[in-house]
Amino acid sequence: IMEVINHYRSSLSKSLSSGPGPFNDILAKIESRSGIGRQTVFEGCALLTLLWLALAPPSAPFVSGLICFVYPAYKTKIALKTWNNRDDIHWMTFWVIFGVCTVLDVIFAPYVFLYWPLKTAFLLWCMNPEIKGSVVIYEGELWSYVQKEAKTINKLVSIEKEKREKT
């Protein structure tokens, strides 16, 4: 387990020191003024945020949505302006997973203890530029399932389309 944690901390460290950007600029200012490393600052803020999500349920959907929307929206805009297809795949698959999680909010949020911190942590893993969790999911079981069930999915979509055209 410690090996996995150290791997994720190492990739986090790469992400937090990977060039300019508004987030890295803020962390650099905090680091220079406080003398505390940017990874420590980030991990402390992340822990406080996850605690807040666990202990302040009325604001949890908004805070989780804000965290999981703003940075990916910014990175998607940048990715769409480049010719690198790999980052497009990362962010497009992230948005599919984000949409699925948003639908699952209605089903699981009222019943699953610590739903909002778990969802936020999962989506942070999916959006991490070093780990690219959304690509891991896309290239793993999810994509093979979608390919296997493509005919059924297309049939259901066409049935729904026909129903809507009749009304």
In order, the DSSP letters of 5-55 are HHHHHHHHHHHHTSS--HHHHHHHHHHHHH---HHHHHHHHHHHHHHHHHH
Q: What is the pLDDT of residues 4-28, one digit of tens each?
A: 778 878 877 777 777 666 777 888 8
Q: Give CA angle at 72 (148, 124), nearest 5°.
A: 75
Q: What is the pLDDT of residues 89-123, one digit of tens each?
A: 889 989 999 999 999 999 998 888 889 999 999 99
pTM of the complete model: 0.72
Hey, what amino acid is at 147? Q
